[in-house]
A = this chain, B = another copy of it.
Amino acid sequence: MEKPWATLGVDLHLEPTGHGLRRGLTDALREAVRSGRLAPGTRLPSSRTLAADLGIARNTVADAYADLVAEGWLTARQGSGTRVAERAVVPPSGAPPQRRERHRPVYDLRPGSPDLASFPRTEWLKAARRAVTAAPNDALGYGDSRGRVELRTALAGYLARSRGVRTDPERILVVAGFAHGLQVLGTVLRARGARTVAVESYRLDVHEKRLTTAGLRTRPLPFDRLGTDPSPLTDEGAVLLTPAHQFPMGVPLHHDRRAAVVDWARHTGGLVLEDDYDGEFRYDRQPVGALQGLDPDHVVYLGTASKSLAPGLRLAWMVLPPGLAEEAAAAKGEIDTCGVLDQLTLAEFLTSGAYDRQVRSARLRYRRRRDALVEALADRAPDAHVTGIAAGLHAVVNLPPGTEQSVVRAAAWQGLAVHGLSFFRHQDAIADPQDALVVGYATPPDHAWTGALDALCRVLP
């Protein structure tokens, strides 16, 4: 007589594995059903028969059958024995969706990222060790939706010292990046009845998307040589600005306009959303203090670790006016969305002075790169010149009229990724059109910087 198991046409190689015989049998049977080798309706040998066949204890087989009945792979009915469940088990349909591997440029001068190779891994791990070792057990639980108090306290001190921000830890909200913060603010503004947020004529479109997702329209303010002009502001619920260093144009907001924006907010009850993405990076002088310092009741300050450390940390912060802190925390959700271990590590990084050291060292690195860019262009591309203040992680390189698109295309041929200024222009921008590149000189690692600069010079007119 043929072995009952073999009649099923299933190879059953049972080895006493780490999982045990029962587990091994269960897995093998499940796989046989799953793959269709055991067809729906197939009657299985009785546990006694199969046990004898396999030379194992009958209970082991009975247990494996019971497991698979509980999971729904098999059915057991009085009188009809154990069968493969009737529902056809289908494999996941089709091949897994293949994402096209993004074309990797040889050199990347798109703005938005710091030099990731200079992330202070060793210092960060040291801070992590101190922070995680010292953390109370409670810190590992479901947290305060505003973020860990250790981090909010460290930020309150740091922001007052470095950016002139006036706050206390109670009004700080830790978020998973600037865009997440903007999403929270969009929700709050929409809930308060706002319909429109004024934005700058040049800006990042992904930020705009966060506002439109929340149900808000955006209306651009004019941009001229003094920066963004707030005079058309009327009854918008809020205005989103980059006062210290306009992104991407690279100029600070003129002091009269700083004053005008705050006055507008005070008179209309509107909110100023201050995107201070690179406020720590000014090379020619002490950075202009945060606008928030002028009026903490009407300005929301937004800062981030994405430029000073790394975007991968997904850590940013908002400083909120008193009346708004609770609303924003509620909009963020009941549960903190940022991992506490990184929050505690960043708090330790700030209070130990490691953060300041990292910013100083990055400032020196990027300043040198900006100087090299200015020099190289003066030398090799006299028709292109760098505009804006000596600050930040990117510069605008003006081009002769009508050449932007061809330069960007030429760059692509050289394996150089770089954005033209038009990439950042609002569709309803109120600003004289201008041909330019936005060069993120912080993006490449040190070893690729010279090559990237060379490639850039080759494609400039």
Contact A70 B288, CB 8 Å, known A93-B322, A116-B140, A310-B141: yes
A315 to chain B: which residues have CB within 8 Å?
339
Please state if A179 and B333 are interface contacts (CB–CB under 8 Å).
Answer: yes
* Residue from the list B63, B72, B117 in contact with A258, Cβ < 8 A: B72
Q: How many copies does the complex hold?
A: 2
For window 96-138 of A, CB contacts with B under 8 Å fall at 96-99, 112-113, 116-117, 119, 121, 124-125, 128-129, 132-133, 137-138
Please state if A72 and B294 are interface contacts (CB–CB under 8 Å).
Answer: yes
* Residue from the list B140, B295, B310 in contact with A312, Cβ < 8 A: B140
A63 to chain B: which residues have CB within 8 Å?
285
Q: Roughly how many angstroms separate A312 CA and B117 CA in the complex, as a whole number?
A: 28
* Residue from the list B180, B285, B312 in contact with A341, Cβ < 8 A: B312
Please state if B252 and A70 are interface contacts (CB–CB under 8 Å).
Answer: yes
Q: Roughly how many angstroms separate A343 CA and B356 CA in the complex, as a whole number?
A: 26
* Residue from the list B69, B96, B333 in contact with A322, Cβ < 8 A: B96
Please state if A314 and B296 are interface contacts (CB–CB under 8 Å).
Answer: no
For window 46-96 of A, CB contacts with B under 8 Å fall at 63, 67, 69-73, 75, 85, 87, 89-94, 96
A4 to chain B: which residues have CB within 8 Å?
none
Nearest CB of B to A219, in Å: 23
Nearest CB of B to A227, in Å: 12
A98 to chain B: which residues have CB within 8 Å?
170
Contact sample, A vs B, 18 pairs, CB 8 Å cutoff:
A22-B286, A26-B286, A30-B293, A71-B289, A71-B293, A72-B255, A96-B170, A116-B141, A121-B132, A124-B132, A124-B341, A125-B128, A125-B129, A141-B311, A176-B339, A180-B337, A209-B334, A311-B335
A268-299 Cβ-contact flags toward B at 8 Å (1 or 0): 00000000000000000110110101111100
A176 to chain B: which residues have CB within 8 Å?
176, 337-339
A164 within 8 A of B: yes
Q: Roughly how many angstroms separate A141 CA and B321 CA in the complex, as a whole number?
A: 31
* Residue from the list B75, B129, B326, B338 in contact with A314, Cβ < 8 A: B338
A177 within 8 A of B: yes
Contact A326 B294, CB 8 Å, known A137-B116, A342-B342: no
Please state if A92 and B321 are interface contacts (CB–CB under 8 Å).
Answer: yes
Size band of the interface chain A makes with B: 35 or more
A139 within 8 A of B: yes
* Residue from the list B137, B266, B326 in contact with A97, Cβ < 8 A: B326
A128 to chain B: which residues have CB within 8 Å?
125, 128
A339 to chain B: which residues have CB within 8 Å?
176, 312-315, 338-339, 342
Q: Roughly how many angstroms separate A299 CA and B257 CA in the complex, as a whole number?
A: 55
A99 to chain B: which residues have CB within 8 Å?
170
* Residue from the list B138, B167, B306 in contact with A116, Cβ < 8 A: B138
Q: Roughly how many angstroms separate A85 CA and B289 CA in the complex, as a whole number?
A: 15
A142 within 8 A of B: yes
Q: Roughly how many angstroms separate A5 CA and B249 CA in the complex, as a whole number?
A: 39
A259 within 8 A of B: yes
Nearest CB of B to A254, in Å: 9
A445 within 8 A of B: yes
Please state if A340 and B326 are interface contacts (CB–CB under 8 Å).
Answer: no
Q: Roughly how many angstroms separate A75 CA and B255 CA in the complex, as a whole number?
A: 8
The 5 closest A-B pairs by CB, nearest first: A312-B340, A140-B310, A140-B312, A96-B170, A72-B258
A96 to chain B: which residues have CB within 8 Å?
168, 170-171, 322
